[in-house]
Chains A and B, each alone.
Chain A
Amino acid sequence: MASIDLKSVRKVYPGNVTAIHALDLSIADGELVVLVGPSGCGKSTLLRMIAGLETITDGTISIGDDVVNKKEPAERDIAMVFQNYALYPHMSVRQNLEYGLKNRGTPRDEIDRRVTEAARILEIEQFLERKPRQLSGGQRQRVAMGRAIVRQPKAFLFDEPLSNLDAKLRGQMRIEIRRLQRSLKTTSVYVTHDQLEAMTLADRLVVMNGGRIEQVGKPIELYDRPASLFVAGFIGSPPMNLIPVEALVAVAGGTMPDFPAGTDIVGIRPDQVLLGSRDGITLSGTVELIEPVGGESHLYVRVEGIAQALILVQQGRASVGEAERVDFILPLAALHGFNRESGRRVE
């Protein structure tokens, strides 16, 4: 087990394409850090650089006390779970689990002990003699995890491990990964583009965009206080409503607060918009569409003068119908201010 430290790490591909801009990140021993962002944001590249599958253009990566820049993947003592699992198709599950241990010259009885232990933890004992193609997606996923844990490495690296599973299985495996990581206390870096997966798994969340870190913090901190417009739009589902201040001032009634200097976009979470008319910024609009999700309903409300439809979350069933007029307020305490130019939060 070990911490992972990234110091001004850069990745430039041939042709001068910069994938990662001087990036700093410290991952504590035993922590599960999730890298999340849209495709092409550099999260997978960063993970592969930690694994040693991509070269590092600049900066240093250390695992524990060793700088690993020049080390081969095998020498870094990490294990990786791939998106397509990358199980060796011609080997049985047992052989898949043993491969890494055999290559490192682990004694036979130790190999057997660890494989049995990993198979027990992941409940794949009855599949040990099968080939990967005889397994379902969820079982393959477990084998891939098993291959990582038998090695007892310094760190686990997960590269979108759940994206090939169906929604139900994904939810189950997410919980299992969390439980497993908690009990093994192995430092883990987990890459995903799924913000729900990111929120629920992470000890700390790293939101990336365009090869840069937008914000690092506990998932709930990022949700409560997004540091940039990008994070505000990326974290949370349905996404935060982002309204230009000039449009809001022009159409809203009620008490308009004095926004701090430099605020030209305000954001508000859909579940904090309140129906009815009370204190706060009052607005009214036409319900365009209602999405009943079950426990709550998502209302898409078109307000004259605001380009984008606003999303409101109402608990339970919607109290209004489509095409009806609706009054609602934006409570002042729930507003987030942003600067359009810099994209950063304004306090």
Chain B
Amino acid sequence: MDTKRTVFPSQGLPYLLVAPQLIITLIFFIWPAGQAIKSSFEREDPFGLSTSFVGLQHYARLFQEPAYLASIGRTALFALAVTLISMGLALVLAVAVNRLIRGGTAYSTMLLWPYAVSPVVAGILWWFIFNSSTGILPYMLEFVGVDWNHQLNGAQAMILIIIAASWKQISYNFLFFLAGLQSVPQSLNEAAAIDGAGPFKRFWTIVFPLLSPTTFFLMIVNLNYTMFDTFGVVDATTAGGPNQATNILVYKVYSDGYIGLNLGSSSAQSVILMLFVIVLTVIQFRYVERRVQY
């Protein structure tokens, strides 16, 4: 790639210019991450007066603990469901908006609003809608014979956080899919139409393959999102319950550390999550930055 070199008048200036970013990264990311790694190897007494080095004990225990293994399974289910639902719906919406000749911008703007809502507020919103005693949806679901109570029913609680987390992410995916669709030349669609392919066939054999770089990028971003950015949604709706049913990894880091006060184990869990994000980032850099070749 061709990058333009900038020459600064003094040697110190470039360092000064990147300093704010560096300082923020160091204080809020690198230092806490270092602390997490350090305390994942340590055990602290209940009063915080002494710590002792315990090596990999926290990690070893985690992978023998049924609650943690169950949480991994739940997280995988949650991550896959949110990624599939939010990307699937976003693609449908993007295709629909892309077909519009007029009014596309208005729809796009409205479809972007959920992204501006903070995760906690989004969570509370869905909590209200699904509230078993006052919510509108449980009331309507009763007519079709569904007894909705996510405070008691683990599966329903999982459905609730999947819906809440997907809803927020649709906007982001929509925007990228729309941009991707708009960069597919119209003449390809026309050529395929003349070549005898119907609308569905055109989409699946021409448009969708050409969207693959976007799809791959979004898949990585969405997995990242479900793993790390969904704390607020979970905390505001189910708080990991009932009976651990929605205690996904990122929430478990919090509940074990701050509620259970097991800082060592909590740190070990956050380090494992950190490793996961590093792997995802490496994949993204290897394949997405180089663009998926077709």
Contacts and interface: CB of A to CB of B under 8 A. Distances in A.
B145 interface: no
A80 B210 contact: no
Given A90-B209, A103-B201, A82 B195 contact: no
Given A88-B206, A90-B209, A90-B294, A74 B187 contact: no
Contacts of B190: 51, 53, 73, 80, 82, 86
A65 to B, nearest CB: 21
Contacts of A151: 195
Nearest to B197: A103
Interface string B189-229: 01111111110010001100110100000000000000000
A99 B210 contact: no
A99 B187 contact: no
A123 interface: no
A82 B191 contact: yes
B196 A104 contact: yes
Nearest to A79: B194
B196 A80 contact: no
Given A89-B210, A89-B294, A73 B187 contact: no
Contacts of B54: none
Contacts of A291: none
B187 A86 contact: yes
B188 A86 contact: yes
Interface in A66-86: 72-74, 78-80, 82-84, 86
Contacts of B66: none
A99 B202 CA distance: 11
B193 A99 contact: no
B193 A74 contact: yes
A217 interface: no
A100 interface: yes
Q: Give chain A's interface residue range (CB within 8 Å of chain B).
A: 20 to 34
B197 A74 contact: yes
B185 interface: yes
Contacts of B192: 88, 99
B86 to A, nearest CB: 25
A147 B191 CA distance: 10
Interface in A187-242: none
B185 A84 contact: yes
A73 B193 contact: yes
A86 B185 contact: yes
A68 B193 CA distance: 15
Interface in A20-50: none
Contacts of B209: 90
B194 A80 contact: yes
A82 B195 CA distance: 13
Contact of A100 (B185, B188, B196, B206): B196
A53 B187 CA distance: 10
Contacts of B195: 74, 99-100, 103, 147, 151
Nearest to B201: A103
Nearest to A98: B195
B206 A103 contact: no
Contacts of B212: 90
Residue among B193, B196, B201, B212 with the most chain A CB within 10 A? B196
Contacts of B188: 86, 88
A151 B195 CA distance: 9
A306 B193 CA distance: 54
Contacts of A80: 190-191, 194
Contacts of B210: 89-90
Contact of B191 (A52, A86, A104, A131): A86
Give the 8 A-B CB pairs with smallest separation, nearest first: A100-B195, A90-B294, A103-B196, A86-B191, A86-B187, A74-B196, A90-B209, A73-B194
21 contacts: A52-B194, A53-B193, A53-B194, A73-B194, A74-B195, A74-B196, A74-B198, A80-B190, A82-B187, A82-B191, A86-B190, A86-B191, A88-B206, A90-B212, A90-B294, A99-B192, A99-B195, A99-B197, A100-B194, A103-B201, A147-B195
Interface of A: 51-53, 72-74, 78-80, 82-84, 86, 88-90, 99-100, 103-104, 131, 147, 151
Interface of B: 185, 187-188, 190-198, 201, 205-206, 209-210, 212, 294
